[in-house]
Amino acid sequence: MTDQARNSYELWGGVIFLLLIVCGLIFGGVKTYGWMQDEQQMPVQVIDFSGDYRYVNIARLERLIRQSQPGSFFALDVNDVYRLVEAQPWIYRASVRKQWPNTLKIYLVEQTPVAHWNDDLLLNPYGDTFNASGEGLTLPRLYGPGGSEKTALEGYHAMQSLLATAAMGINELSLSERFAWQLELQNGVELNLGRQEFIDRLQRFIDIYPLLATQPKGVKYVDLRYDTGLAVGWKSANGEQSEEES
């Protein structure tokens, strides 16, 4: 065998050997990838929830996650799980991460409901609405036009703090399209505060209410939309109302 033939033989032998190695690596990679994607080989056995929560249905949430991510630990998409979790009504914030070898760890920050909004939504402490069931929750009822959620909640807190000094509380607050304030107190008294100086007007009511409460008739409503004085609607035994200005 000539030197040229020997060199050619060695070259092709090397090429064939290299191709065998490459094919082996590809075959091994495909088998490894298939094994990693196989839920039976590397299942997500544990979904570990943590955080402070009362209203989140953990069993339902885990079921949703497993239905949306039926693959193995390696195939599971953390970003998809994150988006799914944060889309749930009672979830305010969440973090999601994998923990080797078979655990998905999820930390939950739950929405904190502070008021009903327009009978169909709930408000959190930041004035953001969320669409969760408020059935059974004893919360004040706030009403107002769209976009006024934060204004209504801030007004509620300011007036509730003032009323608390007189051992009274707000049951229902309404903010009109023209941003006029109306209240229904927990004792049933209705207040019309108007648009301006509503805190001063509320203080005027607090100052005069002890005198009103001594009257033989119960107070139905108080209209405080006056620079000075007020109008009082009284309850009567036969259900009719009478009004008096002072």
Question: What is the side-by-side strand order in the sheet with 46-52?
Answer: 46-52, 103-110, 91-99
**CATH 3.40.50.11690 occupies which residues in the chain?**
115-245
- Of the candidates 196, 198, 180, 192, the one whose C-alpha atom is nearest the C-alpha of residue 219 is 192
Top-level class of domain 46-110: alpha beta
**CATH 3.10.20.310 occupies which residues in the chain?**
46-110
What is the three-state SS of 145-186?
CCCCHHHHHHHHHHHHHHHHCCCCCEEEEEECCCCCEEEEEC
Per-residue pLDDT of the chain (246 residues; tens, 9 = 90+): 565 555 555 555 565 656 656 555 554 444 444 444 444 457 888 999 999 999 999 999 999 999 998 888 888 999 999 999 999 999 999 999 999 889 999 999 999 999 999 999 999 999 999 999 988 899 999 999 999 999 999 999 999 999 999 999 999 999 999 999 999 999 999 999 999 999 999 999 999 999 999 999 999 999 999 988 899 999 976 655 555 555
> Whats the size of the chain, residue-wise?
246
CATH of 115-245, one of 3.40.50.300, 3.90.1150.10, 3.40.50.720, 3.40.50.11690: 3.40.50.11690
**Is the CA virtual torsion 20, 25, 28, 34 positive or negative?**
negative
Amino acid (1-letter code) at residue 233:
G
* 61: exposed, middle or buried (Cβ count in 10 Å: 0-12, 13-18, 19+): buried
Amino acid (1-letter code) at residue 140:
P
Instruction: Name every residue whose Cβ is closer than 8 Å to that of residue 193 and which is 6 or more positions away in sequence.
Output: 180, 181, 182, 183, 201, 202, 224, 225
**Is the CA virtual torsion 83, 85, 91, 92 positive or negative?**
negative
